[in-house]
Structure 1
Amino acid sequence: MSSRAPRIEFAVGAFLLLALASLLVLAIASTNGKFGFGGSHYEITARFTNLGPLRENAPVKVGGVAIGRVSDIALDPVKLDSVVTLAIDDRYSDLPADTSAAILTSGLLGESYVGLQPGGDPEPLKAGDAIFLTQSSVDLIQMVGKYMFSGGADNTSDPANGAETADDAVPAYLQESGTDSPTE
């Protein structure tokens, strides 16, 4: 019976080592092997009026390829704009100075990221530069609300098309009171 105890202890120890090793692999994979240090980068800024669900450490992409991350988000107390600091990998130091930035979403409910669209300026962006051409996040709920409650109907008043006439446009409560038009 005592010869079995070391085997069980060895199996439990091996299982724990395997579990710790797999957690380490998962941690390295989720941080892209950087652990918050290493990898040289340069920082540029962009101003947005609406960030939506954008958060720090969100990816910065060009053509779907991640080239950096959002390193800081701050509020400008004077202009009340959001100032987003982008940490771009040094390998991509040739981004044109007229590059534009937009806050985009991967899929309908996916993560938000900053999408860069390079321009044609021969002068590259340098550390500390700002991107001036920006497009804020689109609020999907607000957009759906505008579509749903705008009516979507044609507002012409041509009786030949079956649209309402000027008399039909007067609300019923004004017609009952003997008033023909809301301006009287």
Structure 2
Amino acid sequence: MARNRQTGTIVFSFGVLAAAIGFAVYAHGTQTSFGISRYPLSASFISANGLNPGASVAMAGVVVGRVSDVRLDSETQLAVVRFEVNDTLHFPIDSVLSVGSMTMSGDNALMIEPGKSSQVTKAGDALDNTREPVSLEQQVSNYIFGSGGLPVN
């Protein structure tokens, strides 16, 4: 009887271990894209409120990378965001970066609005054309009291 209990305990322990390993692989997979190489970039913001490592980097509503680090620069008192984008994507160096949400209920993401420069990004570039994040309350207010992005008659 004791032998069966010990065998059951061992089998259960391996099951729990296998489930933990499976979850770790799944979690890592949601933060990386296997087979897609990326290159690093950085940008400085007055505020990176709500932006965390692992957040999406999006352009035109399409996820094109991940935020790797958010830290405070002690000299400039600016939030420095390090991120990686897909190696096949080289966008204009004057593109506008902002912190926002792709949907009203989604997590914050680093949003890229393409610029017009003929010079494109390369690994290690520090982009400086950034916008301060707009709060959800301000976005709703802009929509209600402003044009909300709709054509004005």
Indicate yes or no: 2:107 matched with 1:114. Answer: no
Pairwise CA RMSD: 3.2
- How many angstroms does 1:98 deviate by? 3.1
Indicate yes or no: 2:135 matched with 1:139. Answer: yes
- Give the structure 2 partner of residue 62 of structure 1: 59
CA distance 1:134–1:5, shift in 2 (3 Å): same
- Give the structure 2 partner of residue 11 of structure 1: 8
Q: Which has the higher contact order (CA 8 A, sep 6+)?
A: 2
- Give the structure 2 partner of residue 129 of structure 1: 125
- 1:53-104 superposed Cα distances (whole Å, 9 cap, x missing partner): 1122322122344332222333345553322222224343x23323321211
Query: Identity over the aligned pairs, expressed in percent?
Result: 27
- Give the structure 2 partner of residue 74 of structure 1: 71
Partner Cα separation in structure 2 for residue 139 and residue 76 of structure 1: 23
Unaligned runs of 5+ in 1: 153-184
Partner Cα separation in structure 1 for residue 50 and residue 101 of structure 2: 9
Partner Cα separation in structure 1 for residue 6 and residue 88 of structure 2: 49
Instruction: Say if 1:43 and 1:86, in contact at 8 Å, map to a contact too.
Output: yes
Aligned length: 139
Letter in 2 for 1:111: D
- Give the structure 1 partner of residue 47 of structure 2: 50
Name the SS for the 1:18 alignment partner: helix
Instruction: Say if 1:52 and 1:138, in contact at 8 Å, map to a contact too.
Output: no
Partner Cα separation in structure 2 for residue 122 and residue 5 of structure 1: 75
Instruction: Say if 2:45 and 2:132, in contact at 8 Å, map to a contact too.
Output: yes
- How many angstroms does 1:6 deviate by? 3.1
Name the SS for the 1:125 alignment partner: coil
Partner Cα separation in structure 2 for residue 20 and residue 106 of structure 1: 36
- TM-score w.r.t. length of structure 2: 0.69
Name the SS for the 2:29 alignment partner: coil
- How many angstroms does 1:126 deviate by? 0.8
- TM-score w.r.t. length of structure 1: 0.59
- How many angstroms does 1:49 deviate by? 1.7
Letter in 1 for 2:48: L
Structure 1 runs (4+) deviating above 6 angstroms are none
CA distance 1:34–1:48, shift in 2 (3 Å): closer
CA distance 1:34–1:114, shift in 2 (3 Å): closer
- Give the structure 2 partner of residue 179 of structure 1: none
CA distance 1:44–1:21, shift in 2 (3 Å): same
* Equivalences for residues 142-157 of structure 1 within 5 A: 143=138
